[in-house]
Structure 1
Amino acid sequence: MSQLTKQQIAESVPQKGFFGHPKGLFTLFFTEFWERFSYYGMRALLVYYMYYEVSQGGLGLDKTLSLSIVSIYGSLVYMSGIIGGWLADRVFGTSRAVFYGGVFIMLGHIALAIPGNIALFFVSMILIVIGTGLLKPNVSTIVGDIYVDGDNRQDSGFSIFYMGINMGGFISPLIVGTIGLKYNFHLGFGLAAVGMFFGLIVFMFTKKKNLGMAGVQVANPLSSAEKKKVFTIFGLAAILISIVVAIAIPRGWLTFNSFILLVGILAFLIPTVYFLVMYFSPKTTKMEQSHIIAYIPLFIAAVMFWTIAEQGSTILAMYADTRTNLNFMGIKISPTWFQSFNPMFIILLAPVFAWLWMKLGDRQPTTPQKFSLGLLFAGLSFIVILLPAYFGGTDSLVNPLWLVLSIFTVVLGELCLSPVGLSATTKLAPVAFSSQTMSLWFLSNAAAQALNAQLVQFYSEKNEMLYFGIIGGTAIFLSLLLFLISPVIQRYMGDIR
């Protein structure tokens, strides 16, 4: 069968049916809703599960090490997307990648739900890393596929899709987090597995009617000879890695710290190599090369933004647990609840931003300008959270409203940058690397969390003002620089806004 064009794929999808958007947005919205319920429910508990004492149901690890491991785990989750994108583009298509990914994620959460030792914990992490790498970039790619070229609903559609992500993220810390901390960590992780199961059900029973040919076609399929070569290399690599690990761990060469450093190097090396491969590929046209050049500063800006935003599940999660007054207006607050504020604000504000971009039309800020606004708000969020220590020192517990205000500020930045970045990625991606470019977008998060694995080691209550001030100030400086060079970036983007 001959390859369908993007236009033909989009035309196979019913174009009216979900808030004025293609009907397939319903399927993708609720699939991602349940996947994010699963993931964020697990993540709301993860850092506490690691550093709480064994007598409290945790693993009893050192706090700083726990923060680094959670960051490096987050990095691996997003780094694995490059493999998931490649498999979708070359082997089985985005639709199957989403399904297989959901199965792996569900199995990973089931493994977490089984009381065991730290070895079982790492098995669950491997399963979730593989699953998220398959599902996360590819479900977003399918969102781009359901719109015809030039459809001005696309940015708005990604904002609605992003709202679905955050509805799952809002509910799960309240349910999974509360049950996990109040009753049993493993019961909470079990609920996360149930959430992923619901996501798989939604996807399987609605995709045929709602998605048409979106996600079915393999964009750049391997030939028979290429398949044999690639899978031979994969098999040999797996065997080699297993041998190296088996030798390195007993000899003390592979420790937590050395592994964190290795992942940190890979998190920046892989996207660098990928940019070069895509740029110099014979399948990339001159216009697509120009788009890649425009994409590089946007990628760097995204790394800086996520460096701040992703500390919500590490530094700010610990801040909520140890530095915040959890008795507020007669209510006993669970520290996991603070992780619901980010998605809650996005749910409330995403429709406002979607309406704003549609209302402004051609007068709206360009993509680089939106990115600069996102960085500005991210930097200001860290300036906000250093103020309690400035006014009251680090010896007293902080009013929880300071933490809420910091989260609100970073959400303003997220709505300027994240859904816009998803949309820009689908527009700027070379045709032969469509899913892999979406994976590249998620590598910005991988690089940020790998950087965080190093940064969190410098945090302490005594130097928290310096910590928040340096990182926040760097983001503000980069936002101003990006705004100044945004006209140059826009020229490389051509007609794409």
Structure 2
Amino acid sequence: MSDLNKQKIVESVPQRGFFGHPKGLFTLFFTEFWERFSYYGMKAILVYYMYYEVSQGGLGIDENTALAIVSVYGSLVYMSGIIGGWLADRIFGASKAVFYGGILIMLGHITLAIPGSLSLFIVSMVLIVLGTGLLKPNVSSVVGELYSEQDQRRDAGFSIFYMGINLGSFIAPLIVGTIGMDYNFHLGFGIAAIGMFLGLVIFIYTKKKNLGLAGTYVANPLSPAERKKVFLSIGIGAVLLAVIVAITIPLGLLTFDSLIVIVGILGILIPTIYFIVMFRSPRTTSIERSRLVAYIPLFIAAIMFWAIQEQGSTILANYADTRTQLDFAGIHISPAWFQSINPLFIIILAPVFAWFWMKLGKRQPSIPKKFALGLLFAGLSFMVILLPAYFGGEDSLVNPLWLVLSYFIVVLGELCLSPVGLSATTKLAPTAFSAQTMSLWFLSSAAAQAINAQIVKFYSPATEMVYFGIIGGAAILLSILLFSFSSKIEGYMKGIQ
């Protein structure tokens, strides 16, 4: 997308109307609010639905396999963002990608709401993976289009947007989690589907007035000849994939275990290839290549951070179910409720961080230093959660406040790294790969969860201290290295603050 088109987009968007930010932030805030409500409502009960016995309404999958599958699922969700970003950049733009993605997500949750077999579960996962891949990177990319590159409100705007994400994430486990765990898993999934429907309604009825041209430009459109070739390749690829799956599953070659290994390889391979393609592209300028070099250590740091944060819905979800005292202060706590702790702290603290960065202005820490802080807090959150086993042993039930403290510490890191990472991605992205670079940012989470799928099998109450200690210590060490090289990284950013 040319600089002229970027300016046209900014001028087409009403620049005041939502907490001093562009009016389009309202539309994107509430679209993402309901999408996250549906996603995290589903995810709050997904691991329990998988490993609970059939007599309890679950699928009866082995516990360790269920934990790995949730990580694989999360990884595939973010990997599919590459497809969504490419389609937005080359074919139909970010706005249509958000709409089509929302439709697929809603259909996926409706499929989960239908009592059935493992086959229906797999179909629902495919729909949600593809839908989230279309919606998630592109809705964030449109937020970036609301602001000029020099707009001082940009980081604060992403922090507000991030608060909308977490409002939906906070409410969902309390509603979907309670109904899913106490009454019926499928009813809970049905409520998640309703949430996505509401998000679509808000997007459709407010985008024309609030978003202007944001999300409508195709950054690097295919020529008619390229379009025909691409559609033919997609069709052939889909047929080949279907044939491979149809052959390998009956032969026992494609199993959950082999899928976990495949996703682990893809989680590292895909972002590596993506960096190489963008760096070598003739459409990437020399300044943009330098910025991509600066982006690499940030990306690696993000992988380490998300490897810890994303275990909140796998290892720590299992920890809440099996290792935590759930009768506390006169009430019985549903293990799904712990999924609301992370977004609750973000809701409380996001405005504080947004105000703090605005207050500091040009004196605020650089992007690499914010990333280093985020990693430091992530490492400390795992160091904290190993302490109960040290003091009380591996067999005793743990006071739930230990889990609350761990979530609180990782949230401090998340607010240093995640909204800043979204903003930095829109700043450092090559113009020809704007939406696809946002997809690359989400690949950091895909890589993290692909790695998690390989390592969750090493977790047990007996290995608890070693597991949390090694991962937490690695994050702290990486944060120190990143802080040490922050000035060097800033030099490669070529003026981006």
Query: Where on the TM-score scale, by shorter chain, does this alignment land: which range?
Result: over 0.9
Cα RMSD, aligned residues only? 1.0
Distance in 2 between residues matched to 1:468 and 1:108, nearest whole Å: 34
Alignment of 1:293-332 (within 5 A): 293-332=293-332
Give the equivalent residue in structure 2 for 1:380: 380
Query: Tell me, which stretches of 5 or more residues in structure 1 are unaligned?
Result: none
Q: TM-score, normalised by structure 1?
A: 0.99
Give the equivalent residue in structure 2 for 1:186: 186
Distance in 2 between residues matched to 1:354 and 1:267, nearest whole Å: 32
Shift in Å, 1:3 = 9.3
Alignment of 1:264-275 (within 5 A): 264-275=264-275
Query: Tell me, which stretches of 5 or more residues in structure 2 are unaligned?
Result: none
Distance in 1 between residues matched to 2:253 and 2:123, nearest whole Å: 21
Give the equivalent residue in structure 2 for 1:449: 449
Distance in 1 between residues matched to 2:220 and 2:442, nearest whole Å: 21
Alignment of 1:36-47 (within 5 A): 36-47=36-47
Q: TM-score, normalised by structure 2?
A: 0.99
Give the equivalent residue in structure 1 for 2:369: 369
Distance in 2 between residues matched to 1:377 and 1:209, nearest whole Å: 41
Alignment of 1:81-160 (within 5 A): 81-160=81-160
Moved over 2 A (4+): none
Distance in 2 between residues matched to 1:306 and 1:109, nearest whole Å: 25
Give the aligned residue type for 2:143.
V
Alignment of 1:81-480 (within 5 A): 81-480=81-480
- Deviation string 1:28-87 (CA, Å, 9 cap, x unpaired) is 000000000000000000000000000000000000000000000000000000000000
Q: Which segment is superposed worse, 249-258 or 318-327? A: 249-258
Q: 3-state SS of the aligned residue for 1:203?
A: helix
- Deviation string 1:318-358 (CA, Å, 9 cap, x unpaired) is 00000000000101000011000000000000000000000
Identical-pair percentage: 74
Give the aligned residue type for 2:271.
P
- Deviation string 1:80-138 (CA, Å, 9 cap, x unpaired) is 00000000000000000000000000000000000000000000000000000000000
- Deviation string 1:418-443 (CA, Å, 9 cap, x unpaired) is 00000000000000000000000000
Distance in 1 between residues matched to 2:3 and 2:303, nearest whole Å: 35
Distance in 1 between residues matched to 2:256 and 2:102, nearest whole Å: 28
Distance in 2 between residues matched to 1:240 and 1:120, nearest whole Å: 22
Q: 3-state SS of the aligned residue for 1:251?
A: coil
Give the aligned residue type for 2:345.
F
Aligned 8 A contact 1:7 1:149 in 2: no
Aligned residues: 497
Q: 3-state SS of the aligned residue for 1:216?
A: coil
Distance in 1 between residues matched to 2:115 and 2:208, nearest whole Å: 38
Give the equivalent residue in structure 1 for 2:78: 78
Give the aligned residue type for 1:204.
I
- Deviation string 1:157-197 (CA, Å, 9 cap, x unpaired) is 00000000000000000000000000000000000000000
Shift in Å, 1:149 = 2.1
Give the equivalent residue in structure 2 for 1:495: 495
- Deviation string 1:287-317 (CA, Å, 9 cap, x unpaired) is 0000000000000000000000000000000
Shift in Å, 1:4 = 5.1
Distance in 2 between residues matched to 1:72 and 1:470, nearest whole Å: 22
Distance in 2 between residues matched to 1:56 and 1:244, nearest whole Å: 34
Aligned 8 A contact 1:78 1:445 in 2: yes
Distance 1:3-1:487 versus aligned 2 partners, 3 A rule: closer
Shift in Å, 1:148 = 1.4
Distance in 1 between residues matched to 2:448 and 2:239, nearest whole Å: 30
Distance in 1 between residues matched to 2:202 and 2:239, nearest whole Å: 37
Give the equivalent residue in structure 2 for 1:30: 30
Q: 3-state SS of the aligned residue for 2:462?
A: coil
- Deviation string 1:440-470 (CA, Å, 9 cap, x unpaired) is 0000000000000011010000010000000
Distance in 2 between residues matched to 1:147 and 1:7, nearest whole Å: 9
Shift in Å, 1:247 = 1.2
